[in-house]
Amino acid sequence: DAGVIQSPRHEVTEMGQEVTLRCKPISGHNSLFWYRQTMMRGLELLIYFNNNVPIDDSGMPEDRFSAKMPNASFSTLKIQPSEPRDSAVYFCASSLRGTGGEGYTFGSGTRLTVV
Amino acid sequence: GNSVTQMEGPVTLSEEAFLTINCTYTATGYPSLFWYVQYPGEGLQLLLKATKADDKGSNKGFEATYRKETTSFHLEKGSVQVSDSAVYFCALSDSWGKLQFGAGTQVVVTP
């Protein structure tokens, strides 16, 4: 398996523009997580899905952020409009729910810079 | 609720020194415990895990023992290398498989 695949690896955009980050989880995994990592706040869980259904989005910072999982092999995180404070590395991770002993597999992340 | 506390960094040490990173947790039930490592510019990678009390996880020379009586899962390595420079995260998993991460500890190993 190729692991969790995220795209793009780097994104530079202007304030006010829409940004879409993409994630392909490991085949067979039924849980997907979106994290944001910054120096100031560390690793923050934004939202997680189980069987394509959003279970907990309490970490989504505000309405400018939205996430979808239309099928088991694809998820998107969208920021509209983007702001400079959204600059961070965004990670996607997947796991097989119910196997608490297995942990997550993380993607390589998308480094977002909003200027 | 569940929580993980790990020592603050950065931890700076010389090559071949002994490394310990302390991690304690608060949880209901019997969580699984993990150490993840993040190398510069990369995502987090699972380093080792333990699923029940007294289990010892080990990988790449790193070890950690699940201590229920002290609610701890300290990470140790007997002789570090420059290539071990990274950020290390302690985490616990609840019964649903959701991970709770600590804040991370940066380790810097100098030649």
Residue matched to tokens 């997907």: A32
Beta-bridge partners for B78 = none
Residue B96 has pLDDT above 80, yes or no: no
Question: For position A98, what pLDDT does the model report?
Answer: 61
Q: How far is B63 from chain A (nearest CA, A)?
A: 17
State the first-to-last Cα distance of chain B, in angstroms, to the nearest integer.
41
pLDDT band at A101 (very low <50, low <70, confident <90, very high): low
Average pLDDT (A84-101) is 86
Name the amino acid, one letter, at B108: V
Torsional class of A42: left (φ above 0), alpha (ψ -120 to 50), beta (otherwise): left
Q: Which residues of B touch A26 (CB under 8 A)?
A: none
From residue A30, how far is each of A27, A37, A48, B19 by CA, in Å? 8, 23, 11, 36
B65: tokens are: 């023992």
Residue B108 has pLDDT above 60, yes or no: yes
The DSSP code for A25 is P
Residue A99 has pLDDT above 90, yes or no: no
Q: Which residues of A touch B98 (CB under 8 A)?
A: 48
- Tell me the pLDDT tens digit for each residue of A38-60: 988 889 999 999 999 999 899 99
Interchain CB contacts (distance < 8 Å): A and B: 56
- Tell me the pLDDT tens digit for each residue of B4-46: 999 988 999 999 999 999 999 999 888 999 999 999 888 999 9
Q: Which residues of A touch B99 (CB under 8 A)?
A: 103-104
Question: For position A107, what pLDDT does the model report?
Answer: 95
- Tell me the pLDDT tens digit for each residue of B72-93: 999 999 999 999 999 999 999 8
Q: Report the relative pairing of strands A53-56 and B105-110 from DSSP bridges.
A: unpaired
Question: For position A2, what pLDDT does the model report?
Answer: 79
Q: Tell if the CB–CB gap between A97 and B96 is shorter than 8 Å.
A: yes
Q: Tell if the CB–CB gap between B49 and A97 is shorter than 8 Å.
A: no
Average pLDDT (A8-23) is 97
Q: Which residues of B touch A93 (CB under 8 A)?
A: 43-44
Rounded to whole angstroms, how far apart are CA atoms A92 and A24?
A: 8
Q: Report the relative pairing of strands A10-13 and A110-114 from DSSP bridges.
A: parallel
Closest chain B residue by Cα to residue A36: B43
Percent above pLDDT 70 for chain A:
96
Rounded to whole angstroms, how far apart are CA atoms B96 and B79?
A: 36
Q: Tell if the CB–CB gap between A42 and B103 is shorter than 8 Å.
A: yes
Rounded to whole angstroms, how far apart are CA atoms B13 and B33?
A: 25
Within 32-91 of B, beta carbons closer than 8 Å to A belong to: 32, 34, 36, 42-46, 49, 51, 89, 91
Average pLDDT (A7-24) is 97
Classify the C-alpha dihedral B10-B16-B20-B21 as positive or negative.
positive
Helix (H) or strand (E) holding B76: strand B75-77
